[in-house]
Amino acid sequence: MRRPTTLICLTAGILLGPIGAQPLGSGGGWVKPDGVLYGMAESCRKPAKFHFARVVKMIPEVQQIKREKPSEARKQLLLRKANQRLQQAIREAAQAGPYDCVVKAKAIVSKPPAKVVDITRELIRRVKK
């Protein structure tokens, strides 16, 4: 049981890397800067949040890593695909919303500038495609 938790933490660290070409700001004060995964929190008027760990564990490549325990090289390739899948899902959900910023739910530290919509289920649906 300890192994999947470690994998999720490792995966989360890798998936937090480059989330696309979106510039990351200081977080606008209401969210931690590393919690902004799309858009800029400083100018956010229609924010969305999601539960990162719930979405990550539903990504097919992450599930494959848990099932197969691949070599390190294969694991890195699968994580890259998982990262791309997550980035695409966030971008698509933000544009469909339309939301001008998407943040991790646990990164919110004070009152946001507007009501924050939870898009966790939407992202899970999109990463499963």
pTM for this prediction: 0.76
Give per-residue pLDDT as tens, 39-69. Answer: 888 888 999 999 999 999 999 999 999 999 9
4 against 100, higher pLDDT:
100
CATH 3.30.910.20 given to domain 2-127: yes
Q: Which two tokens stand for residue 49?
A: 């949040």
Domain range summary for the chain, segments of one domain joined by +: 2-127
How many other CB atoms are found less than 10 A from the CB of residue 60? 14
**% of residues, the chain, pLDDT over 90:** 59
| Residue 52: alpha-carbon gap to chain centroid | 5
| Contacts with 89 (C-beta within 8 Å, 6 or more apart), sequence order | 55, 123, 126, 127
Q: Which amino acid is at 117?
A: V
The separation between the first and the last C-alpha atoms of the chain, rounded to the nearest angstrom, is: 27
